[in-house]
A and B are shown apart, each in its own frame.
Chain A
Amino acid sequence: MFVKYGVVLRSIINRVASHRVKVLSAIHASQLIFFAAHVPFSRMEQGHLLWMLERMSLAYYAAGEVIVSPEQGSADRFLVIKQGTVHGEQSVAQATEDAWLELAEGECFPLGALLAKRPVASVYRAGSDTFCYELAADDFNILLELSTPFRDFCTRRIANLLEHSKQLIQVQYAQSSTEQQSLSSPLSALIRRAPVTCAPDTSVREALELMHSSRVGSIVAVDRQQRPLGILTLPDVLERIALPQIDLGQPVLGIMTTQLTTLPPQALAHEAALVMARHGFRHVLVVEDGRLAGLVSEKDLFALQRVGLRQIGSNIRHADSMAVLQHAAADIRRMAHSMMAQGVAPEQLTQFISTFNDLLTVRVIELECAASDLRDTPLLTGVCWLALGSEGRYEQTLNTDQDNALIFAVPQGMSADQVRSQLLPLVARINASLASCGFPLCEGNVMASNPRWCLSLEEWKQIFSGWIMHGTPEALLHATIFFDFRALHGAQHLAEDLRAWLSRVASDNTRFLHQMAENALRNRPPLGVVRDFVLDHEHTLDLKVSGITPFVDAARIFSLAAGVTHTSTIQRLRSSAARLNIHAAEIDAWIDALLFIQVLRLRHHDEISGNAELDNLVDPERLNELDRRILKEAFRQARKLQARLALEYHL
């Protein structure tokens, strides 16, 4: 096949190239430019592109006109939108109501139908005055044989787009990492944490203790207006304190370096490097409007991002103070950034984040328990810390709120209330410490420190039964958070008992599952009729609510129905597939789509990190064309998943 058309192709190129009087085709360079700007054409050989263009025609469709429909029989042509928009609608009956997807300039359709040589499943209609390049089905099939990039694109559509997107991400991050490490970034980008400061009259002893407990190599004395007065660094300790054996009770300012080198936050890293080299300083104070904004050390400049995974893990396990854990939390974020830079798959990336956040949480709990007066009491051995919601599903991102709860065993001779009142102060400290490590407190107060969610095993079963029996809106909402619980620390068997009980009770209760499905289907992925996405008034998309939630909700219902005990959405989908007779390829497409949205979300968090509020809102206009297309495809998969859910529960 290939050889044959290779010959044909050569003869065509020769014919075009030879300056015969009758030059058959004059393809304008701008057509090539158009195709070079869109995947997959951008990756095709020019000879194949010309071959395709020679055979293409340009058709016009007025707004509202049907372009392809199921009634026309087997798909007879391949279309690429030159300008305008095309809506794919699920069926004729719903044609004016519900657009499944909207295609824009550079996108092609209907690939599935062409490959399968069947009629299209949707009605494709021009959304506005639209011009499409068209290639006859026979030529499309030849092109599949001719061009490998084209074939790959058509047959592995979403996987292919993802691969391409991953390459782009790598390039993008490679640039940002070099930029970060280069000496041309502003100092404000290098400040890792608030500087450790003290008042000028602090004693030398207190200052040293503060440096030790904060694990820093320097301390700055500031006045009430936060203006820096002096700095003390570790090397000074030897020279000015230990060797002269000075009185540790004297004010620290007396032994500090008071001739300070300061730079504004906008100054570049290389200026700081020059200052350090020139004066032999190890630190430069970053000062804005006279006030201390941060401290940049030699280490910050030259050893950026050199902490290994193993190192972080070991730091967490051996941490003996919250300060160390807070530092580790920052390291986790930094590491997540560089993993993204290396193009690590989203599944591994979220796993990485979950693993380290779990480690961190466990260590926080251990430290708080050790510091508590309940330590060594039998009470603490009968307690299990539960991770809920996204943490329970191993889907944490960098800004996940705390969602946690507690199960406890009730020792003989005590009431649940008595146990609860003894545990609550400790639990509240754990929640607060987690917050100090960068896990924001839950706004809805779904935390173990809330007496409602600090319960004995029996109480949990009662409350879960109530939700399943009544299925009130509130119960359904709670189910989406609490039914994703998993044990994080402590008496695992309590959580296992509760899980086994729940999967038995829930799978028997089809009415409840039906209600959950109904509820889940209220949240429709935002593919709209007017433009690509249905946006809120801020022109943003909520990647979590609109993108992730449809998958998470459906997976939860499938797993409860199938008695699957996993809590991760991907595991839930894979394990439920067999029970529900869903084809593996379909499951893979859903999972790919979910993971892609997750990557976008992580990237978004990564981009805005540093700002106080991390959100899930992205402006589709700001995504590159490729990501926008994949996102639309991902939403389309979410719709398919929901269609499956609707079918299952006759909704």
Chain B
Amino acid sequence: MLVRLLDSVARFVGKRVVLSVEQQQRLAAWRALPASRFSQPWANSRCVVMDVETSGLDLRNDRLISIGAVAVVHGRIALGDSYSVVLQQDVASTRENILLHGISGSAQRDGMPAADALLGFLEYLGKDTLVAFHVTFDETMLRRAMRDYLGLSFKYPWLDLAYLMPALNPALAGKHRTLDDWVTAFGISIDARHDALADALATAQLWQVATTQAARNKIFTFEELCDLEQAQRWVYEIS
């Protein structure tokens, strides 16, 4: 309890992050990369579809446990270009949580040191566009981890399939909310639900469906998709 309290206090006042020289260099190298060009058509660029597993659904107190990501290059999911990491945890998550994502306590302790895992993810990402389903959750968990372990303020452009799918499929929008709903609607099978990499792969397949549908509506760039997403957010807000 006391640890948890101190942890929250430290987070509130801004924890001092200590990085090794090598880690600092890696972070600097990533910062120096040119920013992604959002105006590009996805058909000739790379984007990264990701999913995270956490110790729970509390955005303020739960921890990031694993990241799974696959790259979609020129519209195709490149199987050799994927990333999967378990972050080293001092305290394993609860039993119920372990049962959900299947990453055991010892696997959590044996994971990669958080700073290295996150740097690895940044290097994998480059400055390419990020895609997820229910971005708010993934983004918040990732931003907090970036701040806590790398001292990095990770402000980044994301695309959210949870808004794009209903925008592109108004007829299905009413009854389809979750990732499971949408992948089922397009016959995509998730090989291992609540495994970050498997979920990321299924999300990426959903992204392929979405971009194919968008192209039919003469939408070809990330920027245009972003506009579509904003419009859908607005629809949800007023309805």
A residues at B contact (CB < 8 Å): 21-31, 33-34, 53-60, 62, 65, 83-84, 128-129, 131, 133-134
Distance from A11 Cβ to chain B, minimum over Cβ atoms (Å): 14
Contacts of B195 in A (CB 8 A): 28
**Contact call B123/A30, Cβ cutoff below 8 A:** no
Beyond A25-B80, A57-B76, A59-B75, 18 additional pairs, beta carbon < 8 A: A21-B112, A25-B81, A26-B84, A26-B85, A30-B192, A33-B191, A54-B79, A55-B79, A56-B79, A57-B78, A58-B79, A58-B208, A59-B76, A60-B212, A62-B212, A62-B213, A83-B189, A134-B76
- Of all chain B residues, the one with the shortest Cβ separation from A34 is B191
**Contact call B188/A131, Cβ cutoff below 8 A:** yes
**Contact call B73/A57, Cβ cutoff below 8 A:** yes
Tell me whether chain B's interface is mostly helix, strand or loop, or mixed.
Answer: mixed
* A57-B205 contact, Cβ under 8 Å, with A28-B191, A129-B186: no
**Contact call A53/B80, Cβ cutoff below 8 A:** yes
Bound Cα distance from A646 to B63, whole angstroms: 70
- Of all chain A residues, the one with the shortest Cβ separation from B80 is A54
**Contact call B212/A28, Cβ cutoff below 8 A:** no
- Of all chain B residues, the one with the shortest Cβ separation from A19 is B112
Bound Cα distance from A129 to B197, whole angstroms: 22
Contacts of B75 in A (CB 8 A): 59-60
Contacts of A54 in B (CB 8 A): 79-80
Q: Which among B79, B187, B198 has the highest number of chain A CB atoms within 10 Å? A: B79
Complex A-B, nearest 5 residue pairs according to Cβ-Cβ distance, in ascending order: A30-B191, A26-B84, A60-B208, A57-B76, A54-B80
Contacts of A23 in B (CB 8 A): 83-85, 120
- Of all chain B residues, the one with the shortest Cβ separation from A58 is B77
* A26-B68 contact, Cβ under 8 Å, with A31-B79, A60-B212, A131-B188: yes
**Contact call A26/B205, Cβ cutoff below 8 A:** no
* A22-B82 contact, Cβ under 8 Å, with A60-B212, A129-B187, A134-B76: no
Q: What are 15 pairs between A and B in contact, CB < 8 Å?
A: A23-B84, A25-B81, A25-B82, A26-B84, A28-B191, A30-B198, A55-B79, A56-B80, A59-B76, A60-B209, A60-B212, A83-B187, A128-B187, A129-B209, A131-B188
Distance from B204 Cβ to chain A, minimum over Cβ atoms (Å): 8
* A21-B119 contact, Cβ under 8 Å, with A26-B84, A33-B191, A57-B73: yes
Contact with A along B112-125 (1 / 0, CB 8 A): 10001001100110
**Contact call B192/A25, Cβ cutoff below 8 A:** no
Contacts of A22 in B (CB 8 A): 120, 123-124
**Contact call A27/B79, Cβ cutoff below 8 A:** yes
Q: For residues 96 through 122 of chain B, which have their beta carbon under 8 Å from a beta carbon of chain A?
A: 112, 116, 119-120
**Contact call B205/A58, Cβ cutoff below 8 A:** yes
Point out the residue from A21, A53, A131 that lies within 8 Å of B205, measured CB to CB. Answer: A131
**Contact call A83/B188, Cβ cutoff below 8 A:** yes
Bound Cα distance from A54 to B71, whole angstroms: 13
Q: For residues 36 through 78 of chain B, which have their beta carbon under 8 Å from a beta carbon of chain A?
A: 68, 73, 75-78
Contacts of A30 in B (CB 8 A): 191-192, 198
Q: Which among B68, B116, B191 has the highest number of chain A CB atoms within 10 Å? A: B191
Bound Cα distance from A153 to B116, whole angstroms: 43
Contacts of B119 in A (CB 8 A): 21
**Interface flag for B201 (CB, 8 Å):** yes
Bound Cα distance from A57 to B208, whole angstroms: 12
Interface residues on B, range: 35 or more
Q: Which among A30, A54, A84, A128 has the highest number of chain B CB atoms within 10 Å? A: A30
Contacts of A34 in B (CB 8 A): 191
Contacts of A83 in B (CB 8 A): 187-189
Distance from B128 Cβ to chain A, minimum over Cβ atoms (Å): 15
Bound Cα distance from A101 to B72, whole angstroms: 30
**Contact call B76/A58, Cβ cutoff below 8 A:** yes
Bound Cα distance from A57 to B192, whole angstroms: 19
* A21-B120 contact, Cβ under 8 Å, with A26-B68, A28-B197, A131-B205: yes
Q: Which among B73, B77, B189 has the highest number of chain A CB atoms within 10 Å? A: B77
B residues at A contact (CB < 8 Å): 68, 73, 75-85, 112, 116, 119-120, 123-124, 186-189, 191-192, 195, 197-198, 201, 204-205, 208-209, 212-213
Distance from B191 Cβ to chain A, minimum over Cβ atoms (Å): 3
Bound Cα distance from A30 to B205, whole angstroms: 15
Bound Cα distance from A62 to B213, whole angstroms: 9
Contacts of B198 in A (CB 8 A): 28, 30
- Of all chain B residues, the one with the shortest Cβ separation from A20 is B120
Distance from B189 Cβ to chain A, minimum over Cβ atoms (Å): 6
Bound Cα distance from A83 to B198, whole angstroms: 15
Bound Cα distance from A133 to B201, whole angstroms: 13
Contacts of B213 in A (CB 8 A): 62
Distance from B24 Cβ to chain A, minimum over Cβ atoms (Å): 14
Bound Cα distance from A56 to B189, whole angstroms: 19
Bound Cα distance from A236 to B116, whole angstroms: 91
Point out the residue from B79, B112, B187 that lies within 8 Å of A25, measured CB to CB. Answer: B79
Distance from B53 Cβ to chain A, minimum over Cβ atoms (Å): 14
Distance from A33 Cβ to chain B, minimum over Cβ atoms (Å): 7
**Contact call B212/A26, Cβ cutoff below 8 A:** no
**Contact call B197/A26, Cβ cutoff below 8 A:** yes
Contacts of A129 in B (CB 8 A): 186-187, 209
Distance from B160 Cβ to chain A, minimum over Cβ atoms (Å): 19
Bound Cα distance from A84 to B186, whole angstroms: 10
Distance from A185 Cβ to chain B, minimum over Cβ atoms (Å): 40
Q: Which among A26, A27, A54, A62 has the highest number of chain B CB atoms within 10 Å? A: A26
Point out the residue from A27, A28, A55, A59 that lies within 8 Å of B208, measured CB to CB. Answer: A59
Distance from A251 Cβ to chain B, minimum over Cβ atoms (Å): 74
Bound Cα distance from A26 to B120, whole angstroms: 12
Bound Cα distance from A22 to B26, whole angstroms: 11
Bound Cα distance from A43 to B151, whole angstroms: 49
- Of all chain A residues, the one with the shortest Cβ separation from B68 is A26
Distance from B218 Cβ to chain A, minimum over Cβ atoms (Å): 16
- Of all chain A residues, the one with the shortest Cβ separation from B23 is A21
Bound Cα distance from A133 to B187, whole angstroms: 16
Contacts of A28 in B (CB 8 A): 82, 84, 191-192, 195, 197-198, 201
Bound Cα distance from A31 to B197, whole angstroms: 11
- Of all chain B residues, the one with the shortest Cβ separation from A60 is B208
Bound Cα distance from A31 to B80, whole angstroms: 12
Contacts of B85 in A (CB 8 A): 23, 26
Distance from B232 Cβ to chain A, minimum over Cβ atoms (Å): 21
Q: Which among A23, A34, A134 has the highest number of chain B CB atoms within 10 Å? A: A23
Bound Cα distance from A53 to B187, whole angstroms: 22
Contacts of B189 in A (CB 8 A): 83
Bound Cα distance from A83 to B78, whole angstroms: 17
Distance from A132 Cβ to chain B, minimum over Cβ atoms (Å): 10
* A60-B205 contact, Cβ under 8 Å, with A21-B120, A23-B120, A30-B198: yes
Contacts of B84 in A (CB 8 A): 23, 26, 28
Distance from B196 Cβ to chain A, minimum over Cβ atoms (Å): 10
Contacts of A60 in B (CB 8 A): 75, 205, 208-209, 212
Distance from B147 Cβ to chain A, minimum over Cβ atoms (Å): 21
Distance from B75 Cβ to chain A, minimum over Cβ atoms (Å): 7
Bound Cα distance from A30 to B83, whole angstroms: 15
- Of all chain B residues, the one with the shortest Cβ separation from A59 is B76
Bound Cα distance from A27 to B79, whole angstroms: 7
Distance from A54 Cβ to chain B, minimum over Cβ atoms (Å): 4
Bound Cα distance from A33 to B75, whole angstroms: 24
- Of all chain A residues, the one with the shortest Cβ separation from B77 is A58
Distance from A85 Cβ to chain B, minimum over Cβ atoms (Å): 11
Contacts of A24 in B (CB 8 A): 80-81
Distance from A510 Cβ to chain B, minimum over Cβ atoms (Å): 52
